[in-house]
A and B are shown apart, each in its own frame.
Chain A
Amino acid sequence: MNKNYLKILLNGLIKENPVLVLVLGTCPSLATTTNVTDAVGMGIAATLVLICSNIVISALRNIIPDKVRIPCYIVVIAGFVTVVEMLLHAFVPSLYDSLGVFLSLIVVNCIILGRAEMFANKNNVVASAFDGIGMGLGFTLALFAMATIREVLGAGSFCGISIPILRDYCVPILRDAPGGFFVFGVLIAIVAAITGKQHLKGAGCAGCPSAALCGKLGNCAQAEQSAEQEEGTANA
């Protein structure tokens, strides 16, 4: 495999993990991680949509006019989400029932639209497919980690299977919203410690893991400078 593609694939797992580093897709991350089965199901569904939408958007990047690119992306993404939804409803009804409205909400998942805008419309089809796989796996991995902590410590079970001893000493708040935010914060801190990103506080655009790919197209210094100037004017 080409080294660049491997790098793109691995980027999504830790270095540019969509949930724990880019902090995208927070809503489904908190809502579907009360149990491991739902979290993995959500991760796989979002990964399929991410790969397909990245491929199509990358293939059409030279045809789609800039002014209508966002509506075009939304139509493509919504189409794939509906396809995945119909397939799950038909063949995995239990997962369809448990994911509920969050399945449809993949349409507005920032990770998918974000990768379409930041990566797929600037890179070739193969690289975009690898980005989709990497980001999707990163998303699934983050959800799996969050769900494992929340289900094992919050409900004393794993994938719905009760764990002896732990089930008698579980911390139910971990399954509720405050516990979700707590686990989310702890995981972000752990990933920051592993990847050595503590120094990035206040580093501005240069500290952003997607600096090279963002809408400023690498003009981070200028963007930062103008932001500082605006801030200075406001303070004056």
Chain B
Amino acid sequence: MKKIWNDPVYKSVIVLTAICLVVSALLAVTNLATALVIERTQQQAVEQAMQEVLPTKNGFEEITDSLKALPETVQSVYREKGDAGYVVSLATRSQYSSADMLVTVGIGKDGAVCGIRITNYAESKDFGAQYPQQYLGATAQTVQAVDSVAGVTYSSAALNGAVKDALTAVQEVQ
């Protein structure tokens, strides 16, 4: 054992592996403590976003049928109880970071986007505030025409794909 420890190559491998294992354990413990809180916070953000993209006093009901046939970015589809429209919650990964971009899209009775909000996004700072508003009024026919933002092309394309998927999902469940 002492011979192995004195060999610089073995020692380097053992020390680096041990540090990686300890750090992984630390991350696992932190994840255990924070995962539920993060999930709850994101759920609250989605609920708040639903009210913002399609304001209503009637509340929403989740559509659970036919979700398998929908694009895979679609996480859930809600129908406004007063039949004013739909809200689609999506998660897309077509961007640089591994974290999800979570998008909530409100679609009115006429099939056009009436509200959009990004609830989780950790890249370009100002992208989430202004750019999504360009999709207001977009329909399945016109969504492709919304331009990307130079310098944020991956995120723009991901958002465009998400809105397109939301419109497709609503057409499917109607």
Interface residues of A (CB under 8 A from B): 60, 63-65, 67-68, 71-72, 75-76, 78-79, 82-83, 86-87, 89-91, 93, 96-98, 100-101, 103-104
Q: Which residues of chain B have a CB within 8 Å of any CB of chain A?
A: 8, 11-12, 15-16, 19-20, 23, 26-27, 30-31, 33-34, 37-38, 41, 45, 97, 121-125
- Distance A72 CA – B23 CA, assembled complex (angstroms): 10
Determine whether the beta carbon of A79 is less than 8 Å from that of B38: no
For A75, list chain B residues within 8 Å (CB): 16, 19-20, 23
B122 touches A90 (CB 8 A): no
* A91 contacts across to B, CB distance below 8 A: 34, 37
Which residues of chain B are within 8 angstroms of A78 by Cβ–Cβ distance?
Answer: 23
Question: Shortest beta-carbon distance, B14 to chain A, in Å?
Answer: 9
What's the Cα separation between A8 and B41 when bound, in Å? 40
Q: How far is the CB of A91 from chain B (nearest CB, A)?
A: 7
User: 7 tightest A-B contacts by CB?
Assistant: A79-B23, A90-B34, A90-B37, A68-B12, A86-B34, A65-B12, A83-B30
- Chain A interface SS verdict (over half): helix
CB-CB nearest in chain A for B118 = A97
Pairwise interchain contact A67-B8, C-beta atoms closer than 8 A: yes
Would B19 and A86 count as touching, CB distance under 8 A? no
Please determine whether A90 and B19 come into contact, CB atoms closer than 8 angstroms: no
A86 touches B30 (CB 8 A): yes
- Flag if B41 contacts A93 (CB, 8 Å): yes
Asked if B125 and A86 make an inter-chain contact with CB atoms under 8 angstroms apart, the answer reads: no
Judge whether B23 and A89 touch: CB under 8 Å: no
Cβ-defined partner of B19 (8 Å) among A76, A93, A100, A104: A76
- Check A89–B38 contact: CB distance below 8 A: yes
Contact of A72 with B30 in the complex, beta carbons under 8 Å? no
Residue of B nearest to A78 (CB): B23
Other A-B pairs beyond A83-B30, A86-B27, 12, CB < 8 Å: A60-B19, A75-B16, A79-B27, A82-B27, A86-B30, A89-B38, A90-B33, A91-B37, A97-B122, A98-B125, A100-B121, A104-B122
